Amino acid sequence: MPTVTVRRWTAALALAIVTAAPVLAARQEPPGVVFVGSSIFRRWTALATQMAPLPVANVSFDGATTYDLLGLLGSRVIPRKPKVVVYYGGSNDVDLDEPPAAIAGRVTQFIDRLEAALPGTRFVFVSVNRSPDHQDLWSVVDEVNRQVQVYATTHPLVQFVDVNPVLFSVDGSSRLDLFMADQRHLRPAAYQEFAKILKPILARAVQ
């Protein structure tokens, strides 16, 4: 079975498991900040601690694409009625050779649907990582980030946050110490850097 097909099937299975949880339980949680994304967020194991005292929930899963995140919106995001949604998606779409406009387009679809269901909810897009394993596709990653950033300038409730600078040394080389052996997923030190950037932004957003 082709690698891409296996990845899509695995993501679909993970999505089915995530969305099978009772929606009622999600409704009972206090509104706050919902993180939704792929493995970059799902593997942020210290998220709740590093964001405390902000009330956060993480509904991300490994292998998620921007298609999958659209599927999560109605079942796992909107029912929680968050004040802020923090989004990481696009890396897996790049693997599938999706064009930047299509990837960014699904991000804006997510925002539009979120706004229609929950007017006033803020949306924070965390830049797609320029991970070493994607180096030959950084031009695609950069274009996705650029398009979402441009969109954010026209929407008062949308914020683009670029975390890529912390993933590079001053000489422009990737900080391999922040990446796992696969050169895609992140070590705890990278999440500590992300928390320093995101927590002040989210604290202001929930006020």
Q: Among residues of the chain, what percentage have pLDDT more than 90?
A: 84
Q: What is the mean pLDDT of residues 2-16?
A: 47
Distance, in Å, from the CA atom of 88 to the CA atom of 120, rounded to the nearest integer, reads 20
Q: How far is CA 28 from CA 31, 35, 158, in A?
A: 9, 17, 26
Q: Identify whether the C-beta of residue 18 lies closer than 8 Å to the C-beta of residue 76.
A: yes
Write the pLDDT tens digit of every residue in 49-105. 999 999 999 999 999 999 999 999 999 999 999 999 999 999 999 999 999 999 999
- Tell how strand 122-126 and strand 84-88 pair up: parallel
* pLDDT for res 24: 38
Domains and CATH numbers, the chain: 3-12+35-206 (3.40.50.1110)
Distance, in Å, from the CA atom of 52 to the CA atom of 58, rounded to the nearest integer, reads 13
Q: How confident is the model at residue 18 (pLDDT cuts 50, 70, 90)?
A: very low
Q: How confident is the model at residue 6 (pLDDT cuts 50, 70, 90)?
A: very low
